[in-house]
Homo-oligomer: A and B are copies of this chain.
Amino acid sequence: MKELFGSPGKASGLCLRIGQCLFAAASLGVMASASGFSTATAFCYLIASMGLQLLWSFGLACFDIHALRLKRDLHNHVFVSLFVVGDWVTAMLSLAAACSSAGVIVLLLKDTNICRLDAKLSCNKYQISVALAFVSWFLLGISSYVMLWLAASA
């Protein structure tokens, strides 16, 4: 298997995973602290999706640390196939959550006046949370591509 930026068991891969964890955790935290998030299903779904991504990326980060410490090679078919499926499912769910939340935010802010009329909705926090979710998804997307490329080129 080729050695690519962001491969499992490498320092670049570990950095990507830590970045995904941090941004997912930040997105989750900001959304959970925003008042009135439970009025929109999309925001609850964003929290669930970011929670899943946090767990997945944290697990793989631990795996990478383990591999780096013991200098183990994670480039075998079973691992890479598992990572590909998990990464892609998580990335799709994250993108779906971020986009549906973004759609709702645009509706609340631009298309209607709900944000201005309803003072208990903290629309700024929603926006920050979705922006963080997109960053987290982007980092996960890089990992997913690298994994698929590794699996296909094996």
Chain A residues in the interface with B (C-beta under 8 A)? 39-42, 92, 95-97, 99-104, 106-107, 110-112, 145, 148-149, 152-153
Of the candidates B107, B145, B152, the one whose C-beta lies within 8 Å of that of A104 is B107
B residues near A107, Cβ cutoff 8 Å: 40-42, 104, 107
How many Å from the CB of A22 to the closest CB on chain B?
23
The distance in angstroms between the C-alpha atoms of A39 and B149, with both chains bound, is 41
Copies assembled: 2
B residues near A95, Cβ cutoff 8 Å: 92, 95-96, 99
Query: Which of A96, A100, A102, A145 is most buried by chain B, counting CB atoms within 10 A of its CB?
Result: A100
How many Å from the CB of A154 to the closest CB on chain B?
9
